[in-house]
Amino acid sequence: MDLLKDIKNHSLIIANNQDKLEMLNYFSNNSVFLNLDFFESFNTYSKFNINYTFYLKEKFNIEPYLSDRLRKYFDYIDINKIYDLDKLNLLKNVKKQLVNDLIMKEKKRDYHTLYSVNDSYVPEFLSGEIIDISTKNISNKPVCLYKAKNQKNQIYFVYEKIVELLEKGVSINKIKVLNSSENDDIGLIKLLKDANIPYNLSKRKSLTEYPLMIKLITTLRNDGYLACKKMLEEVKINDITKKIFRVFNSFDSKLIIKNIDVFIHELKKLSIVDLGFKNAITITNFNDVVFNDEEYYILMNYYEEYFPKKYLDNDYLSNNEAKKISYPSSFTLNRHLRASVSSRLNRIDNLILVYPNKVIEEVIPSRITLNREVKEEFYEYFVKEETYLDDFIYLDFAKKRYDFDNYNIISPDLIRLNNVFLNKHKLYIPYFSGITKDTLDVLVNKHNTLSAYKLETFNLCPFKYYLSFLLKLDNFSGNIFTYIGNVIHKALEMKTKEGDYDLDFILDSYDFPEEESYKFLIFKEIITENVNMIEQIVSEFENSSLFKKVYSEHKINIDFDETFTLSGVIDKIMIDKENGYYLIIDYKYGDENYSPNDIDKDYDLQLPFYLMAYQKEEPELKPAGILYQQTSLLKETRGKINNYKMKGLIIDLVSVIERFDPSVTRIQGVSINKDGSLPKRSNSFISPMDLDKLIVKTEERVRDIAKKISLGDFKIMPILTDKNQTTNDSISCQYCPFHTICYSKNKHLGGE
């Protein structure tokens, strides 16, 4: 700073804002009294009246955005000169008017001495002897330049560097993070918050993002100035409203009313800085800092495309036009910008530079000339054994430990984490625990029926059950197949109960999905063909069977325990009263089977559930079997009797089979050998004892689920052992509408 002691009185100092503040501090601290003018390169030199944008709009119909872009050229335009380019003559005429009407006021341009501070650019319209001065010597401390593995690692680097400096005893308000992007801020703030390190995000924020400003602009546009002013009179006074009032009071109301868009443009220029804590890390912009020897600066994103921000060749005047008035080209501007940035960086004592190695592609570090030793290092984040990020690291460990315990997934840092945290390990259990006992009781008592479908859903994923049947979030609308199923079921029910049916009436009784209505005629034809065929097959079978008593659409409504009721509808029950047997049949639109392999599947419960429920209703009767009957076939297979065979399990007693199906042709896999025995290899037989066991097992399953529901045990727990081979989705998740809100572990299988 001693370099400043020779500054001559009545000079012009060309310096940026930080250097100007530093100089003024120096002068006041050293009792130096000088009469100096200051100018910041690339700002406008002349003085403009506040009504500048309004004036250009009214007088020349120039939109305010363009007015702002033109302002910087007027310093370079000579109103006495004739230009050979139209744009320049236009600017000359505008400037003449601006000067005449006192909207623009030119200032003194001839000085004895012009001081260019720290490589500041000296515009050509200024005259005088130019002297270069530096506010400070180049630091002799080396600069550390870190290449972080990627953008995320860059954030970790900054966080760890802050912790390192704090641990070394650097005062918290002496650490400044510069040149971070918005995404960097989000990541860094998260880490600082987790570690309880106070911070100030000291960046200008446009007020256009604030709800009050949005409302204000909308009111101005739609209802005009007076309505807007009335609205403002009713809002609470705070820093934001004070700024807004200032803009309102700066302009004449008649001017505003005539030029609402220009006024909105002026309002949109307002911004605010949140000053926050006194003792805190500061995150701010490079250009907003007054550098200080005692402070530590961590400058992020130190790579060519990002720092410093460049001037581009897309201004109002082309480079050729700008050259005619000696306005600097973008090349010149960037050269000076680099020089000025380099000058500032070279003078910072405690400087740490960092950039991400990869943004989209690999980047190259900024080509700023650093006239001091630069130490380059690579940085990659590793989980540390000691950290301030307790919550974060525990959670990370707990998740990894859970993945290992449950799915044997070993993450690379699991062993290290295990060594550090095993003793403090808190179990990570992905239980859903967001429901209170009272709410649970209300919901369960309100929705206390247990059907086969609900039980299957619970076993596929308890969380899905909770959302679908307690919170009722699953609002499925019917589709064509539900429609077909309903029509065929009804036709078969009427045929069994009343001996006939009116298909047209039934077709009209159900709602065909509206969005598919153009397909109705085609489906009507298919349904009619299928109904005619299946009705004939079912009638023939019922007539031939010695299980003479047939119940169609039998409703289940049985109290199960203190809370739950079993509910559902069994399509058909056929009873042999003479021998005390019954058989359950479920109509299926598609091809379904139930084999001994399915007995262990918790999510294939429909037939066992009906069996268990009916056995409770009719304990005197004995079960003979559980079967599916396919009701609809494709054109190619329709009408071929073999394709309509029932599928499922029937007890392995010939005497029962012969009474149920005297022709022994109606059940897939069921035949009788010539010696009267049953084939050994068929999957369609079950012993009466095993069928009884299935009833007991099913009841246990239902009790278990009922208990879990009552306790609110709604784990997010899809079945991970069974998946769709094509999509890799768990069978629980493949059609689940809740996959976006459940943190599904389905992805462990490779599914979405």
Nearest-5° Cα angle at 313, 307 to 315: 110
Nearest approach in angstroms of CB 727 to ligand SF4 is 13
Q: In the complex, what is the shortest distance from the CB of residue 469 to ligand SF4, in angstroms, rounded to a whole number?
A: 12
Backbone angles phi, psi at 145, to 5 degrees: -115, 115
Sequence-separated contacts (24+) of 601-608 with Cβ below 8 Å: 602/456, 602/459, 602/701, 603/456, 603/459, 603/460, 603/719, 603/731, 603/732, 604/456, 605/452, 605/455, 605/456, 605/459, 605/698, 605/701, 606/452, 606/453, 606/456, 607/648, 608/694, 608/695, 608/697, 608/698
Helical (H) or strand (E) element with 625: strand 622-630
CB of 450 to ligand SF4, least distance (A): 19
Shortest distance in whole angstroms from residue 143 CB to ligand SF4: 51
Rule CB under 6 A: choose which of 20, 176, 489, 739 binds ligand SF4: 739
Binding mask 454-493 for ligand SF4 (x = CB under 6 A): ------xx-xx-----------------------------
DSSP string across 463-496: HHHIIIIIS----PPP-HHHHHHHHHHHHHHHHH
Question: Toward ligand SF4, which CB reaches closer, 11 or 746?
Answer: 746
Which residue lies nearer to ligand SF4 by CB, 379 or 738? 738
Instruction: Report helix, strand or coil for 541.
Output: helix
Residue 719 CB, shortest distance to ligand SF4, in Å, is 9
Contacts of 327 (CB under 8 A, 6+ apart): 72, 73, 76, 317
Residue 506 or 742: the one with the smaller Cβ distance to ligand SF4 is 742
Structure tokens at 147: 């290449």
Q: 572 or 739, CB closer to ligand SF4?
A: 739
Of 16, 744, 749, 751, which lies in the binding site for ligand SF4, with binding defined by CB under 6 A?
744
- Nearest CA-CA partner of 462 in 741, 705, 721, 751: 705
SS3 content of the chain, % helix, strand, coil (to 5): 45, 15, 40
Is 14 a residue that touches ligand SF4 (CB under 6 A)?
Answer: no
Q: Is 709 left (phi over 0), alpha (psi -120 to 50) or beta?
A: alpha
Binding range to ligand SF4, per CB under 6 A, among 117-125, 231-239, 316-324, 728-736: 728-736
- CB of residue 434 to ligand SF4, shortest distance in Å: 14
Span of 567-575, 593-601, 609-617, 739-747 interacting with ligand SF4 by CB under 6 A:
739-747
Nearer to ligand SF4, 310 or 715 (CB): 715
Rule CB under 6 A: choose which of 586, 742, 749, 751 binds ligand SF4.
Answer: 742
In the bound state with ligand SF4, the residue whose beta carbon lies nearer, of 593 and 744, is 744
Q: CA distances (Å), 481 to each of 7, 11, 453, 468, in order?
A: 91, 89, 17, 21
Q: Taking a C-beta distance cutoff of 8 angstroms, is the pair 35, 113 a contact?
A: no
- Asked if 733 interacts with ligand SF4 (CB under 6 A), we say yes
Question: Which among 695, 694, 749 is positioned nearest to 724, based on CA atoms?
Answer: 749
559 strand-pairing partners: 565
- Identity of the residue, 462 or 623, whose beta carbon is nearer to ligand SF4 in the bound complex: 462
Q: Which is nearer to ligand SF4, 95 or 723 (CB)?
A: 723
- Residue 724 Cβ, how far from ligand SF4 at the closest point, in Å? 12
Nearer to ligand SF4, 484 or 731 (CB): 731
Contact 432, 463 (CB under 8 A): yes
Of 92-100, 307-315, 685-693, 738-746: span binding ligand SF4 (CB under 6 A): 738-746
Compute the distance between CA of residue 43 and CA of residue 104 in angstroms, rounded to an integer: 14
Residue number, 495 or 739, with CB nearest to ligand SF4: 739
Residues numbered 402-461 forming contacts with ligand SF4, rule: CB under 6 A: 460-461
- Given the complex with ligand SF4, which of 83 and 603 has the nearer CB atom? 603
**CA pair distance 374, 371, nearest whole angstrom:** 9
Residue 749 makes contact with ligand SF4 by CB under 6 A:
no
* 736 contributes a contact to ligand SF4 by CB under 6 A: yes
Site for ligand SF4 in 700-719 (CB under 6 A): 716, 718
- Spatial distance between the Cα atoms of 66 and 316, rounded to a whole number of angstroms: 8
Residues 578-597 close enough to bind ligand SF4 by CB under 6 A: none
Closest contact distance (angstroms) between CB of 460 and ligand SF4 is 6
φ, ψ of residue 272 to 5 degrees: the values are: -145, 150
Residues in the chain: 752
Neighbours of 63 (CB within 10 A): 14
Three-state secondary structure call for residue 602? coil
Cα–Cα distance between 669 and 678 in angstroms, integer? 10
* Minimum CB distance to ligand SF4, residue 462 (Å): 8
Angle between helices 151-167 and 182-194 (to 10 degrees): 40
For residues 458 and 594, which CB has a smaller minimum distance to ligand SF4 in the complex? 458
The only residue of 125, 248, 381, 738 in contact with ligand SF4, by rule CB under 6 A: 738
Q: Does 570 bind ligand SF4 (CB under 6 A)?
A: no
Q: Using CA atoms, how far apart are residues 204 and 288, in angstroms rounded to an integer?
A: 10
Strands 37-39 and 12-14, sheet pairing? parallel
Alpha helix (H) residue ranges in 429-584: 437-446, 452-460, 462-465, 480-498, 503-509, 520-544
Stretch that binds ligand SF4, among 3-11, 67-75, 700-708, 735-743 (CB under 6 A): 735-743
How many binding residues for ligand SF4 (CB under 6 A)? 14
Q: What residues between 317 and 356 interact with ligand SF4 by CB under 6 A? A: none
- Which lies closer to ligand SF4 via its Cβ, residue 180 or residue 744? 744
In the block, tokens 């002349």 appear at 46
Smaller CB distance to ligand SF4: residue 238 or 725? 725
Between residues 629 and 744, which has the closer beta carbon with respect to ligand SF4? Answer: 744
Shortest spacing between CB 366 and ligand SF4, in angstroms: 46
What minimum distance in Å lies between the beta carbon of 733 and ligand SF4?
3
Kindly list the residues in this chain that would bind ligand SF4 in the complex (CB under 6 A): 460-461, 463-464, 716, 718, 732-733, 736, 738-739, 742, 744, 746
